[in-house]
Amino acid sequence: MELLADDIVPEDARDVKHEAREFADEHVAPNAEEYFRAGEYPHDVLEAGQEAGLVAQDIGEEWGGRGWSLTQMLAVAEEWFRADAGIALTLQLASFGAEIVEQYGTDEQREAYLRPVAEGEQITGLAVSEPDTGSDLTGMETTAEKDESSDEWVLNGEKYWIGNGVEGDWLTVYARSGDPPEEADDRYSNHSLFIVPTDAEGYEAEHIPEKMGMRASKQAHIVFDDCRIPAENLIGYEGAGFAMLAEFFNFGRVVVAGHGLGLAAAAIEETWAFVHDREEFGRTIADFQAVQHGLADMRTEFEAARALTYRAAEKVENGTKPGLWAAMAKTKATETATDCAEQGMQFHGGRSILADRRIARVYRDVRIPVIYEGANEIQRNLVYRQS
């Protein structure tokens, strides 16, 4: 069974997809259970990905990357997440948020911060969510105040669920850079984005305690205590943070749909193999019509999600209602993964709860993509409003 077939993938993404599968087969899948059990950051796999030229390669060639398109990033994501979601997330988060610097930053910022990431010398991350605020981008309370006497920005507040908050060399940080607007229709113009080196004075980060899924990917709790950064570390212009993030997330949500596709493929593959091998009442489980119907539904929903996701990638790249298509793809693909994992657990019976079972690992992992990059309830709001 070949669920991640090439036929739906645009030709210019197929070679990259094959590279990603070879890497996943050699470095990701064989280490998946070990890193899941240990809950440790997979430094060696990340380094292998950097050496193979597969990490942070959506950064443009001018700045050291390969200039991967959104469709190419999607093709890579589904392959890596099929092999293991935790390690895959670490690989993709190594450059998370750097795309904003590439699009809106100065040449000096790109040379100083983008190039080292593209060339595998540094890793980065994006700090948006906070302990009490997740999907509400206008409600973030971390502040950035301009100190005119020193020509610096001073950050105070907290961030939560931040990939590479501990491991990263620098982060793109979203902070409130102005007073809350008085006009209700102007609530989107008082946040900005900043480049914050993790060795800056006043920056402190620690790993969030153990997660139930994607344990090979580490997230951090960050505290900014009068954290000072140079004025030139502002990305774009003051007050444009919300608009820049909204555009960035349209691309990111298509890639997250790829996370869902990879996880759904893993659930279907594992379940298919199990029910055709396991015998009950003198025949394999797959001989029962109820099981066949369940597998048929899993395959049908997967193919529908994959078709929608690749269509969404094209729409987002072309700028055709990108928010609508990204939200639909993210919702459908991640929820399909959740449904497939749930059905797979049921068909595995009692063995589904054994910790060494791949289906049990997938079942834990699928609970996370339905939340990150904007919870699916928020995505439904976007679909309704932009339809």
pLDDT tens by residue, 200-209? 999 999 999 8
Count of CA atoms in the C-beta half-sphere (13 A) of 101: 34
For 246-250, what is the mean pLDDT? 95
Band the pLDDT of 106: cuts 50, 70, 90.
very high
Closest CA to 93 of 81, 103, 83, 104: 81
* CA angle (100 as vertex; 96, 104 as ends), nearest 5: 165
Query: In sequence order, what E strands does the chain have?
Result: 124-127, 143-147, 152-163, 170-176, 191-197, 203-207, 219-230, 234-235, 279-280, 283-284
Return the half-sphere exposure (C-beta side, CA atoms, 13 A cut-off) of residue 174.
32
pLDDT at 32 over 80: yes
Report pLDDT for 181. 57
Band the pLDDT of 282: cuts 50, 70, 90: confident
Q: What is the mean pLDDT of residues 27-36?
A: 96
Average pLDDT of the residues in 77-100: 98
Domains of the chain and CATH, by start = 11-118 (1.10.540.10), 124-239 (2.40.110.10), 243-386 (1.20.140.10)
CA–CA separation, 268 vs 120, rounded Å?
Answer: 34
First to last CA, the chain: 36
